[in-house]
Amino acid sequence: MTKYGSFPGTRPRRLRTTPVMRRMVAETRLHPADLILPAFVREGIAEPVPIGAMPGVVQHTRDSLKKAAAEAVEAGISGIMLFGVPEESKKDALGTVGTDPDGILQVALRDVRAEVGDDLLVMSDLCLDEFTDHGHCGVLDAEGRVDNDATLERYAEMAQVQADAGAHVVGPSGMMDGQIGVIRDALDQIGREDVAILAYTVKYASAFFGPFREAVGSSLKGDRKTYQQDPANLRDALRELALDLEEGADMVMVKPAGPYLDILARVADSVDVPVAAYQISGEYSMIEAAAEKGWIDRDQAILESLTGIKRAGARNILTYWATEVARKLR
């Protein structure tokens, strides 16, 4: 007992008593505009193809992709990030279909822009891995190593082709040294100063990418540890951040999101540009698999995971649940 009444005198639980009270004092809020939908479009299919490792996610046809984009607009999300899946026979060592104006990704960009105009930010993954027969994010040298500077030349061409096809934003994800500066110069050279760069600044060599390999029909041999970042390192991420900002990144991203919330928080505290985080395929698949087993509440787990990412400092979140969650938030 105290002279002021019963112990304890301070009771934080008073602010948790009802749903309305909890909503009023919530420090972090999700909004549809926070969300970006990653989407896969596959060449040569007549119907959407379910991705076995990602229940509820498909490889789209051109028509179903346009429908998904229209639904994203209706739900109020901010963007759609497109990944192209070419026919296997079109892959080669240089990923030339990735810079072909009639390649699947460029065709899809034109389709989606025609469908949604400026009502949705049309974003494009800028990387070679979907288009190479070896599955790496760049050009290989004579010894089978990824040649950083030769790859930059390919990225410059990709940036220009994607901009011409209608991308509002390009997302360089290959983790090549100097990629942001080269891409910015390439875009400016063709008068596309208006196209923004969302830099995959912090991209770790993560086991959680596994289901994505199926989603893009990856031909990867080996791993990407010589160019993606070591999960053990923080200072390396901050160094990459400084370089990307110096080279002209308009926005920066941390990928994966959930296992690297500490990195996300450090990045968000360090910059004055928008920070995105990508809740990747493995994060998605774990929740879906556990929910299918009845081990967790699916809807609550989805919202909790996204709230954690937002609380850690993400302005925007790429998530395969973007449209579904946005509808519920509205």
CA dist., res. 174 & res. 151, Å (int): 9
CB 257 within 8 A of CB 316: no
How far is the C-alpha of 84 from the C-alpha of 323, rounded, in Å? 20
- Alpha-carbon distance of 71 to 82, in angstroms, equals 15
240 is in an annotated binding site: yes
Contacts 24+ apart (CB under 8 A), 193-197: 195/159, 195/163, 195/167, 195/168, 195/169, 195/170, 196/168, 196/169, 196/170, 196/250, 196/251, 197/169, 197/170, 197/171, 197/172, 197/248, 197/249, 197/250, 197/251
305 annotated as belonging to a binding site for a ligand: no
Give catalytic status of residue 310 as yes or no.
no
Residue that has been written with the tokens 């160094």 in this structure: 239
Closest CA to 316 of 325, 327, 306: 306
266 in a labelled binding site: no
Known binding residue 27? Answer is no
- 66, 91, 203, 310: which one is catalytic? 203
Residue type, 175: M
Residue 203 designated active-site: yes
Integer-rounded Cα radius of gyration of the chain? 21
- With H, G, I as helix, E, B as strand and everything else as coil, classify residue 205: coil
What's the rounded Cα separation, in Å, for the pair 136 and 122? Answer: 24
191 in Cβ contact with 105 (< 8 Å): no
- Active-site entry in 66, 91, 255, 310: 255
Q: Is 284 annotated as a binding residue?
A: no
Question: Which contiguous run of DSSP H or E holds residue 134?
Answer: none
Q: Residue 153 — left, alpha, or beta (φ > 0 → left; ψ -120 to 50 → alpha)?
A: alpha
Q: How far apart are CA 214 and CA 270, in angstroms?
A: 35
Binding-site sequence positions for 5-aminolevulinate: 213, 224, 281, 320
Binding-site sequence positions for Mg(2+): 240
Binding-site sequence positions: 213, 224, 240, 281, 320
- What residues are labeled active site? 203, 255
